[in-house]
């Protein structure tokens, strides 16, 4: 059984070599690494294709520390591109396939990427923003051959399957991820080669019990940190297998994938867990292969946890992490779960909740989370002022607000700028949303502070109704009374607004500032 806790990271360390060649050398070369459609790709085959991709990039002139933008669906090609670039010392940057052409133009310019690896479908959508880019030298297209670009397939076929890894330092840049940019321009988050062994091992060994025999299926895409963590890093650290699904995750497809590939660990987000519960009412579902369900990306409402437990006889492990930290840092564990909490601090992390003056707050009070871990991002690319705000020696100011209880469980209260004061008291929108979503008519809820005519801040709730319910003043009054029975009086919504959907990022996170703009 592969275990990495306490693994000594040498000064010369290449993350791609660690995730691929190590398994071949240690006798796992014939094990399946990737399940994709009808393909079963072994670790030997994956290592060979990663080498071909690294050689192909070198042939085009990509060198150490050059940036390579990856704009591909979840597929073997994504993994070959990501690890191939990293193996030659270049820096892969997966970006959101759902982003706008304007966003992609920004990613290319901000990162100064020398190469872009893109699918044929996506190339046709953003081709007009690729012209005139100052740093971009090569566009490599996977799929249909397109005039004026390089063919990913042809480059791979003509490249050697052997490649010596670049002798990168453990402290060299390994990969970047761009944040979702819900409150401004996206930030390039810079991670180093050694980071992986610090931010991933605590959850993989302390929560998931990751084993070679595991088959992992994560519905979040690999251009998200949560998806990369669990469709690439976690399985390839431990010689396990991953199921890749190229399409956007629809509830009916998710159940089909589970029944076809029989994964043992399932990763998803609260919004999709809720949709899966609705889908399960209309079909038979077999989840017997899954030994662990995990949720992250946003806080898992207690109601969804309880409904999942009742429907399938197994709970969901709720956890929380971030792109900047690299992976998960709080998590519940089997046998140690408090529904509605983000769990306890994982080993290897140090945490403090601090007030606005930087002082540690007592247990039971809301504070901003500060973290220490050697896997936390090195910096934000070209964001000097922001770096000064959040990186303080070994400490990282996450900007997220939590409460810690007497048992060491942490409860997410939203971003620091999501909190608002009502009657002079700090109010968490998360707490109010969790109460309102327990009402049988409510599917989703988003809460913000709103001003009265007198300029006083009061609570406003935006509500998406379940099927079979219609908006009415009677239902509005019923929901407000429901909340009043469970919340302090100042937390009860003064106003409600019934909406068809809530604004969310591609990862499913609620975009509260848009709700504030809609008032």
Calpha distance 440→435 (Å, rounded): 11
Burial class (CB in 10 A: 0-12, 13-18, 19+), 270: buried
pTM (predicted TM-score): 0.84
80-103 core/surface letters (b: 16 or more CB in 10 A; e: else) = bbbbbbbbbbbbbbbbbbebeeeb
Q: So what's the pLDDT on residue 180?
A: 64
- State CA 110 to chain mean position distance: 22
Q: Chain-wide mean pLDDT for the chain? A: 93
Burial class (CB in 10 A: 0-12, 13-18, 19+), 317: buried
Question: Which residue, 407, 348, 28, is CA-closest to 205?
Answer: 348
Q: So what's the pLDDT on residue 489?
A: 84
Terminal CA-CA length for the chain: 55
Q: So what's the pLDDT on residue 424?
A: 61
Residue 317 lies in a domain: yes
Q: What tens digit of pLDDT does each residue of 362-375 get?
A: 999 989 999 999 99
CATH number for the domain spanning 62: value is 3.40.50.980
Say if residue 396 is in the same domain as residue 424.
no
Q: So what's the pLDDT on residue 422?
A: 80
Residue 368 lies in a domain: yes
Question: Which residue, 41, 138, 112, 129, is CA-closest to 80?
Answer: 41
Q: What tens digit of pLDDT does each residue of 171-194 get?
A: 999 999 998 654 457 899 999 999
Provide the percentage of residues in the chain whose pLDDT is more than 90: 79
Is residue 416 scored above 80 in pLDDT?
Answer: no
User: How many structural domains compose the chain?
Assistant: 3
Residue 19 lies in a domain: no
Residue 236 lies in a domain: yes
Residue 282 banded pLDDT, cuts 50, 70, 90 = confident
- Count the neighbouring beta carbons within 10 Å of the beta carbon of residue 386: 13
Say if residue 423 is in the same domain as residue 396.
no
Q: What tens digit of pLDDT does each residue of 448-476 get?
A: 988 877 566 889 999 999 999 999 999 99
Parent domain of 217: 199-416
Q: Which of 381, 416, 451 is the last residue of a domain?
A: 416
Q: What tens digit of pLDDT does each residue of 309-348 get?
A: 999 998 999 999 999 999 999 999 999 999 989 999 999 9
Say if residue 365 is in the same domain as residue 429.
no
Say if residue 366 is in the same domain as residue 447.
no
Residue 15 lies in a domain: no
Q: Which of 191, 224, 239 is the last residue of a domain?
A: 191
Residue 214 lies in a domain: yes
Higher pLDDT, 201 or 430: 201
Say which range, 204-213, 297-306, 452-461, has the weakest mean pLDDT.
452-461
Q: So what's the pLDDT on residue 420?
A: 79
Say if residue 239 is in the same domain as residue 360.
yes
CATH number for the domain spanning 313: value is 3.40.50.12780
Burial class (CB in 10 A: 0-12, 13-18, 19+), 134: exposed
Going along 72-132, which residue ranges are E strands?
91-94, 115-119
Residue 180 lies in a domain: yes
Q: What tens digit of pLDDT does each residue of 115-153 get?
A: 999 999 999 999 999 988 899 999 999 999 999 999 999
Q: What tens digit of pLDDT does each residue of 50-95 get?
A: 999 999 999 999 999 999 999 999 999 999 999 999 999 999 999 9
Which backbone phi and psi does 14 adopt, to 5 degrees?
A: -120, 115
Calpha distance 221→230 (Å, rounded): 10
Say if residue 184 is in the same domain as residue 217.
no
**How many CA atoms are closer than 13 Å to the CA of 299, on its beta-carbon side?**
30
Q: Which of 155, 170, 191 is the last residue of a domain?
A: 191
CATH number for the domain spanning 494: value is 3.30.300.30
Say if residue 504 is in the same domain as residue 377.
no
Q: Provide the token pair at 146.
A: 């397109």
Q: So what's the pLDDT on residue 519?
A: 64
Q: Provide the token pair at 11.
A: 């000064």
Calpha distance 70→227 (Å, rounded): 14
The radius of gyration computed from the CA coordinates of the chain, to the nearest angstrom, equals: 23
Say which range, 190-194, 272-276, 466-470, 484-488, has the weakest mean pLDDT.
484-488
Calpha distance 68→114 (Å, rounded): 6
Say if residue 213 is in the same domain as residue 290.
yes
Q: So what's the pLDDT on residue 186?
A: 85
Say if residue 98 is in the same domain as residue 211.
no
Say if residue 54 is in the same domain as residue 106.
yes
Q: So what's the pLDDT on residue 504?
A: 85
Say if residue 355 is in the same domain as residue 236.
yes
Q: So what's the pLDDT on residue 44?
A: 98
Q: What tens digit of pLDDT does each residue of 97-107 get?
A: 988 898 899 99
Question: Which residue, 212, 415, 449, 443, is CA-closest to 324?
Answer: 415
Residue 308 banded pLDDT, cuts 50, 70, 90 = very high
Residue 13 lies in a domain: no
Say if residue 180 is in the same domain as residue 256.
no
Q: What tens digit of pLDDT does each residue of 214-239 get?
A: 999 999 999 999 999 999 999 999 99
């Amino acid at each position: 059984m592969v275990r990495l806790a306490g693994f000594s990271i040498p000064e010369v360390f290449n993350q791609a070599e660690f995730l691929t060649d190590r398994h071949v050398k240690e006798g796992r070369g014939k094990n399946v690494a990737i399940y994709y459609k009808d393909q079963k790709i072994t670790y030997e085959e994956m290592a060979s294709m990663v080498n071909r991709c690294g050689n192909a990039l070198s042939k085009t002139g990509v060198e150490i520390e050059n940036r390579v933008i990856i704009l591909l669906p979840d597929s073997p090609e994504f993994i070959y591109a990501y690890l191939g670039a990293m193996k030659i010392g270049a820096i892969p940057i997966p970006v959101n396939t759902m982003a706008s052409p304007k966003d992609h133009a920004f990613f290319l310019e901000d990162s100064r990427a020398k190469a872009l690896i893109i699918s044929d479908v996506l190339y046709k959508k953003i081709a007009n923003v690729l012209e005139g880019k100052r740093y971009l030298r090569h566009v490599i297209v996977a799929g249909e051959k397109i005039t004026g670009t390089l063919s990913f397939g042809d480059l791979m076929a003509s490249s050697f399957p052997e490649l010596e890894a670049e002798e990168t330092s453990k402290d060299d840049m390994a990969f970047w991820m761009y944040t979702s940019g819900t409150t401004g321009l996206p930030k390039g988050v810079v991670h180093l080669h050694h980071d992986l062994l610090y931010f991933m091992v605590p959850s993989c060994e302390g929560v998931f019990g990751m084993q070679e025999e595991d088959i992992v299926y994560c519905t979040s895409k690999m251009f998200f940190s949560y998806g990369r963590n669990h469709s690439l890093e976690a399985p390839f650290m431990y010689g396990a297998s991953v199921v890749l699904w190229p399409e956007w995750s629809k509830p009916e497809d998710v159940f089909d994938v589970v029944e076809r590939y029989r994964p043992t660990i399932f990763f998803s987000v609260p919004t999709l867990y809720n949709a899966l519960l609705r889908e399960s009412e209309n079909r038979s579902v077999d989840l017997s292969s899954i030994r662990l369900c995990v949720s992250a990306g946003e806080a898992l409402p207690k109601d969804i946890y309880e409904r999942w437990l009742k429907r399938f006889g197994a709970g969901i492990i709720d956890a929380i992490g971030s792109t900047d930290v690299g992976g998960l840092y709080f998590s519940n564990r089997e046998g140690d779960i408090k529904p509605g909490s983000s769990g306890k601090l994982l080993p290897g992390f140090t945490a403090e909740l601090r007030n606005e003056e930087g002082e540690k707050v007592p247990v039971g009070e809301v504070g901003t989370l500060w973290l220490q871990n050697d896997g936390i991002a090195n910096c934000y690319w070209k964001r000097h002022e922001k770096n000064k705000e959040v990186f303080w020696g070994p400490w990282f100011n996450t900007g997220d607000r939590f409460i810690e209880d007497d048992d060491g469980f942490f409860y997410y209260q939203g971003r620091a700028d999501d909190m608002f004061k009502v009657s002079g008291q700090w109010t968490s929108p998360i707490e109010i949303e969790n109460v309102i979503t327990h009402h049988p008519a409510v599917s989703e809820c988003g809460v913000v502070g709103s001003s009265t005519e007198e300029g006083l801040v009061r609570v406003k709730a935006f509500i998406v109704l379940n099927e079979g319910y219609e908006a009415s003043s009677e239902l509005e009054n019923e929901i407000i009374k429901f909340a009043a029975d469970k919340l302090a009086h100042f937390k009860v919504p003064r106003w409600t607004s019934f909406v068809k959907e809530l604004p969310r990022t591609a990862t499913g996170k609620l975009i509260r500032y848009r709700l504030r703009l809609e008032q």
